[in-house]
Amino acid sequence: MNNKKGFTLVELIIVVAILGVLSMLAVPKFTKSKKDAAIAVHNANVRTLESAATLAKSEAKTIDWPDTEGNWKNYLQEWPEVPGGLEDEKDENGNKVEGDYTVKGEDGNITVTPGRIKSND
């Protein structure tokens, strides 16, 4: 009577091959999901800064918030950071998404740099 228990080498190789194929399919989707999440956070940060600047402007304040400087503390709890993973992205104006956010209000327009990123759906 043959009481050997376990898997044969062929069965183990097949399982490893199947896991390899599944990981090749899953990793790119996960990477895209991470980038999509970073883009969503960035665009939410831009909208938050635009809203804070609009409120400051309604109170007849000058808006010039370079990086974390300026009188933004009356309108935001904390200054947002540009999320990681967006180094190869460009905003709606063609500028690279890097560094810190800046906000300027001139001639009735509010400009947040870097600006929004179009989603690559």
Question: Which structural domain, as residue segments, surrounds residue 18?
Answer: 9-113
- Domain-embedded: residue 1: no
| CA distance to 15, 16, 23, 102, per residue, from 12 (Å) | 5, 6, 17, 56
- Sign of the four-CA dihedral 71, 76, 82, 84: positive
- Domain-embedded: residue 120: no
3-class SS of residue 72: helix
Q: Can you give the pLDDT at residue 63?
A: 81
Q: Domain count of the chain?
A: 1
Q: Which has the higher per-residue pLDDT, 61 or 76?
A: 76
d(CA 74, CA 84): 27
Q: Which two tokens stand for residue 60?
A: 């007849």
Would you state the torsion angle of the CA atoms of residues 62, 67, 70, 72, taken in this order, to the nearest 10 degrees? 80
- Domain-embedded: residue 3: no
Where is 34: in which H helix or E strand? helix 9-58
Amino acid at site 29 = K
Q: Can you give the pLDDT at residue 85?
A: 87
3-class SS of residue 104: strand
d(CA 61, CA 59): 6
Q: What is the pLDDT of residues 86-97, one digit of tens each?
A: 888 899 988 888
Q: Answer yes or no: is pLDDT of 73 > 70.
A: yes
- Domain-embedded: residue 78: yes
